[in-house]
A and B are shown apart, each in its own frame.
Chain A
Amino acid sequence: MIYHYIKTSLKVLARRKLFTAVSLFGVGFTLIVLVVVTAMIDHLLFPTGPERNHARTLIVESMVMRSPDRGSSRSGQMGYRFLSRHVKTLPSAHRVSIFSETDSALSFVPTGKISSEMMHTDAEYWQIFEFDFIEGEAFSQQDMSAGNMVAVINQTTRRNFFGDNPALGQEINIDGQSFRVKGIVRDVPLIEYHAYSDVWVPITTYKSTTYREAMMGDFRAAILAEKSDDLATIKAEFQAMLPLIDFPDPKQYNYMNGGADTRIELLARDMFNEYDQAESSAAKLISIAIGLMVLFMSLPAINLININVSRIMERSTEIGIRKAFGASSRHLVVQFLSENMILTALGGLLGYVGAAIVLRMIESSDLIAYADFHLNFRIFIVGLGLIFIFGLLSGVYPAWKMSRLSPVQALRGGQA
Chain B
Amino acid sequence: MIQLQGIIKKYRTDRIETLALEDIDLHVKRGEFLSVMGPSGCGKSTLLNILGLLDIPDGGTMTINEKEVLAQTANQHARFRNQHIGFIFQSFHLVPDLTVVDNVEIPLLYRKVANKERRQRALHALEQVGLTPRTNHYPTQLSGGQQQRVAIARAIVGEPDIILADEPTGNLDSQMGDEIMDILTTLNKQKATSIVMVTHDQLKADQTNRIVRMFDGRVVD
Contacts and interface: CB of A to CB of B under 8 A. Distances in A.
B109 interface: yes
Contact of A325 (B49, B102, B107, B115): B107
Interface in B88-130: 89, 93-98, 102, 105-107, 109-111, 115
Interface string B157-180: 010000000000000000000000
B82 A326 contact: yes
Nearest to B115: A3
A1 interface: yes
A320 B109 contact: no
Question: By DSSP majority rule, is chain A's interface helix, strand, loop, or mixed?
Answer: helix
Contact of B109 (A1, A11, A323): A1
Which one of B74, B94, B154, B158 has the highest number of Cβ atoms from chain A below 10 Å of its Cβ?
B74
B95 A326 contact: no
A326 B102 CA distance: 15
B55 A328 contact: no
B98 A328 contact: no
Interface residues on B, range: 20 to 34
A217 B134 CA distance: 84
B97 A15 contact: yes
B78 interface: yes
Contacts of B54: 323-324, 406-408, 411
Given A1-B109, A407-B54, A408-B49, A325 B83 contact: no
Nearest to A331: B110
A326 B111 contact: yes
Contacts of A8: 97-98, 102
B115 A411 contact: no
Contacts, number: 70
A321 B110 contact: no
A326 B55 contact: no
Nearest to B111: A326
Interface in B46-95: 49, 52, 54-55, 74-75, 78-79, 81-83, 87, 89, 93-95
A321 B106 contact: yes
Contact of B110 (A3, A12, A326, A407): A326
Nearest to B80: A326
A3 B109 CA distance: 11
B106 A329 contact: no
B83 A326 contact: yes
A320 B110 contact: no
Contact of A328 (B78, B87, B94, B158): B78
Given A324-B81, A325-B82, A411-B89, A12 B97 contact: yes
A317 interface: yes
A328 B83 CA distance: 13
A318 B94 CA distance: 8
Cβ-closest 4 pairs across A and B: A326-B82, A326-B110, A325-B107, A407-B54
